[in-house]
């Protein structure tokens, strides 16, 4: 019988003990005597966040479909259990076996956002694995990083044996086969890493040295082995319909962030928003066939008992078979009393018609993402959304019965002016006015509309046209948020508008990590050693500690954030080929400064470079 890693008296002391006991519906337990590879799959945040991540569910299901592999799950212990595990020297364990991660062959960590970097060190530390890859002996697991943050792995390169660049479904089998071959031949850890470096999409940081100029910018990279690749090209799933997809996702014991079946209908986005990293990394757009999605939906609902199904993509409105899929789901899900969730819809007549089909009489809130307050700035970021379209969509929504609208904007975008910021309040006011103009008094629920306007702070990300752009300081961000609030309070319909904004300190730190180099690793390690953990949770974020660590390491935050990069500057991530070319991104950066809009992929090919893969929308065109 499986023995829990934590005693009952420990479980009684911690918040939500169900985070740590495993054995959920559809979790996979194998006989370890009959598997050759044990893989710990980690999401470096609390259980509720990690269990909502589709990528882990996909790889977990795929790995466990292979007879010789047993994949288990690992999440960051919350602060209460973290303290107990350190006091009692309890090693971090996999949920399925309840056995130490340090005894497994691989520890795979998905890196979805930069503010989890200290949690990565927590995982390694609690697992009793040396933090630095170079310090690990032959018995330590191979530590693999993946996910969007792996597209600039340099700030955390010291802590990983290798990174998997791109989509995980394509090369893991080959990597595992090489691991087994090397082990049977009596090869060393270094032998394995050397061979792994020759597998497409695999990056082994210790085989490269980063070189710097006197001004602190990157001069280039030096290979320590002649036979390792100069560039790492991302891995891409070419046939989304044929690739593995989980039909028995693990069902959590407790409520998690996204407690539903998730159907990934496509990858990629045609829109080309210049601030959006995902829109560039996942090019080209590739769709899953609707008939296959119908099978997945039926199987997953039957195998989980979930009462909601969500269609996942970067822009659901652009999925060409959306009507067919929805008609099926509406008919099938209505019989089962299952709700349908449709995130990432553009607000237009088609989308509102779709939403009216799937939402009941009590309308939930609608989400608009204008991103910028003025048309000029929306053209700069290539949002492809006019004020006329926004107001028309709002009017249609109000006529359809919706009374709550969420609006998302960014502050600090390139070329932003005070007029652009004031435009946020003005647009919010116009949307509120559209409600009163559209809905007669006798039909207004509770008599009014609620507009929730939220602003986040712009953070330039690698592999976007804005990777050259300067970022604001904390003080500038706060001033912009104050100006936004002031502008909203000046509006006629201010009582119908609620304003929320993000914290500036954490945004600045995220900006450092996003475009950082290998020197940042020392700061991350120092901050972790001084108690920084769960930095994406505002109650645990200690900006003063981070500032001390940067000062102690002699690194200037402004070097990574506020300066505009020269067109020819070498970036720490330039050795990675994400599919879109640097020339395309630079062209889009210059078009942004010229306030020039670029058509989306369906309207006109922009020659981004992703056409070389010969799949998806590029193949269709």
**Residues of 138-166 as b/e, b for ≥16 C-beta within 10 angstroms?**
eebbbbbbbbbbbbbbbbbbbbbbbbbbb
Residue 2 pLDDT: 82
Which pLDDT tens digit goes with each residue over 354-381?
A: 777 766 534 567 788 999 999 999 999 9
Whether the per-residue pLDDT at 325 is higher than 80: the answer is yes
The band of 293, judged by pLDDT with boundaries at 50, 70 and 90, is very high
Q: Which helix (H) or strand (E) holds 620?
A: helix 616-620
CA distance 139 to 160: 15
Mean pLDDT of 103-109: 98
Residue 361 pLDDT: 39
CA distance 70 to 40: 9
In DSSP terms, 39 is beta-bridged to 71, 106
Q: How far lies 90's CA from each of 36, 87, 99, 124, 302, in Å? A: 25, 8, 11, 13, 38
Q: How far lies 512's CA from each of 154, 376, 561, in Å? A: 12, 28, 6
Give percent of the chain above pLDDT 90: 86
Ordered DSSP codes for 538-559? GGG--HHHHHHHHHHTT--HHH
Q: Strands, DSSP E only, in 467-523?
A: 497-501
Diameter over CA atoms, the chain = 80
Of the two residues 344 and 425, the one the predictor is more confident about is: 425
Region of poorest pLDDT, from 32-41, 251-260, 356-365, 433-442: 356-365
Mean pLDDT of 376-390: 93
Whether the per-residue pLDDT at 346 is higher than 80: the answer is no
Contacts of 529 (CB under 8 A, 6+ apart): none
Which pLDDT tens digit goes with each residue over 544-585?
A: 999 999 999 999 999 999 999 999 999 999 999 999 999 999
The band of 266, judged by pLDDT with boundaries at 50, 70 and 90, is very high
Whole-number average pLDDT of the chain: 94
Q: Which helix (H) or strand (E) holds 263?
A: strand 261-264
DSSP summary character for residue 169: T
Residue 350 pLDDT: 63
User: Could you tell me how far CA 178 lies from the centroid of its own chain?
Assistant: 29
Q: Are strands 232-233 and 261-264 parallel, antiparallel or unpaired?
A: unpaired
Q: Which two three-digit tokens encode residue 295?
A: 């099978």
The band of 403, judged by pLDDT with boundaries at 50, 70 and 90, is confident
Give percent of the chain above pLDDT 70: 97
Which pLDDT tens digit goes with each residue over 187-228?
A: 999 999 999 999 999 999 999 999 999 999 999 999 999 999
Cα–Cα nearest to 289, from 264, 317, 261: 264
- Say which CATH class 361-502 falls into: alpha beta
Extents of the domains making up the chain: 361-502
Region of poorest pLDDT, from 68-82, 295-309, 433-447, 519-533: 433-447
Q: Are strands 37-43 and 106-110 parallel, antiparallel or unpaired?
A: parallel
Residue 471 pLDDT: 98
Residue 349 pLDDT: 59
Whether the per-residue pLDDT at 167 is higher than 50: the answer is yes
Residue 362 pLDDT: 45
Neighbours of 282 (CB within 10 A): 24
Residue 441 pLDDT: 86
Cα–Cα nearest to 145, from 124, 174, 173: 124
Question: Crossing angle, helix 349-358 and helix 387-399, to 10 degrees?
Answer: 30
Mean pLDDT of 100-123: 98
Q: Which two three-digit tokens encode residue 18?
A: 């169900």
Contacts of 71 (CB under 8 A, 6+ apart): 28, 39, 40, 41, 59, 60, 63, 64
The band of 284, judged by pLDDT with boundaries at 50, 70 and 90, is very high
Mean pLDDT of 45-49: 97
The band of 446, judged by pLDDT with boundaries at 50, 70 and 90, is low
Contacts of 20 (CB under 8 A, 6+ apart): 5, 6, 11, 14, 47, 77, 81, 95
Whether the per-residue pLDDT at 416 is higher than 50: the answer is yes
């Amino acid at each position: 019988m499986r023995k829990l890693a934590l005693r009952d008296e420990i479980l009684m002391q911690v918040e939500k003990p169900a985070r740590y006991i495993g054995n959920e519906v559809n979790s996979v337990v194998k006989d370890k005597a009959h598997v050759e590879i044990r893989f710990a799959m980690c999401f470096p945040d609390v259980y509720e966040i990690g269990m909502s991540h589709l990528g882990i569910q996909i790889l977990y299901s795929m790995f466990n479909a292979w007879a010789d592999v047993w994949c288990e799950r690992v999440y960051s212990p919350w602060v209460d259990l973290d303290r107990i595990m350190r006091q009692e020297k309890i090693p971090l364990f996999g949920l399925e076996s309840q056995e130490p991660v340090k005894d497994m062959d691989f520890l795979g960590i998905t890196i979805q956002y930069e503010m989890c970097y200290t949690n990565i060190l927590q995982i390694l530390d609690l697992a009793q694995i040396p933090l630095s890859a170079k310090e690990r002996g032959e018995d330590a697991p191979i530590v693999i990083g993946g996910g969007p943050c792996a597209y600039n792995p340099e700030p955390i390169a010291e802590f990983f044996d290798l990174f998997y660049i791109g989509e995980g479904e394509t090369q893991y089998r080959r990597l595992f086969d090489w691991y087994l071959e090397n082990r049977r031949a009596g090869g060393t850890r270094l032998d394995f890493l050397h061979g792994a470096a020759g597998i497409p999409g695999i990056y082994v940081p210790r085989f490269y040295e980063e070189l710097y100029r006197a001004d602190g910018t990157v001069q280039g990279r030096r290979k320590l082995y002649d036979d390792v690749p100069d560039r790492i090209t991302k891995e891409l799933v070419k046939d989304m319909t044929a690739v593995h997809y989980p039909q028995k996702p693990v069902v959590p014991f407790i409520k998690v962030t996204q407690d539903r079946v998730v159907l990934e209908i496509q990858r990629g986005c045609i829109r080309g928003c210049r601030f959006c990293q995902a829109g560039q990394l996942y090019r080209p757009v590739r769709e899953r066939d609707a008939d296959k999605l119908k099978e997945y939906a039926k199987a997953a609902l039957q195998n989980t008992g979930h009462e909601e199904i969500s269609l996942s993509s970067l822009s659901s409105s652009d999925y060409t078979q959306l009507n067919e899929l929805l008609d099926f789901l509406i008919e099938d899900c209505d019989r089962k009393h299952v709700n349908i969730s449709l995130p990432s819809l553009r607000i237009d007549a088609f989308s509102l018609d779709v939403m009216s089909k799937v939402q009941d009489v009590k309308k939930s809130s609608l989400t608009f993402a204008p991103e910028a307050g003025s048309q000029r700035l929306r053209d700069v970021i290539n949002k492809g959304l006019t004020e006329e379209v926004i107001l028309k969509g709002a009017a249609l929504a109000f006529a359809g019965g919706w009374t709550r609208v969420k609006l998302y904007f960014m502050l600090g975008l390139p070329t932003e002016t005070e007029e652009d910021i004031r435009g946020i309040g003005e647009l919010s006011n116009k949307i509120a006015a559209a409600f009163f103009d559209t809905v007669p008094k006798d039909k207004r629920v509770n008599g009014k509309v609620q507009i929730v306007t939220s602003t986040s702070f712009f953070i330039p990300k690698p592999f976007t046209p804005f990777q050259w752009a300067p970022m604001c300081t904390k003080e500038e961000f706060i001033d912009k948020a104050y100006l936004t609030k002031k502008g909203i309070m000046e509006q006629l319909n201010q009582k119908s508008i609620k304003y929320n904004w993000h914290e500036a300190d954490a945004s600045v730190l995220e900006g450092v990590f996003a475009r950082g180099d290998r020197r940042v690793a020392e700061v991350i390690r120092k901050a972790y050693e001084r108690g920084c953990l769960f930095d994406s949770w505002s109650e645990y974020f200690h900006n003063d500690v981070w500032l001390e660590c940067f000062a102690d390491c002699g690194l200037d935050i402004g070097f990574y954030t506020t300066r505009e990069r020269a067109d020819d500057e070498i970036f720490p991530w330039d050795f990675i080929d994400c599919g879109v070319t640097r020339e395309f991104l630079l062209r889009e950066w210059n078009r942004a400064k010229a306030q020039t809009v670029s058509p989306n992929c369906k309207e006109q090919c922009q020659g981004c470079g992703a056409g070389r893969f010969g799949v998806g929308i590029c193949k269709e065109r």
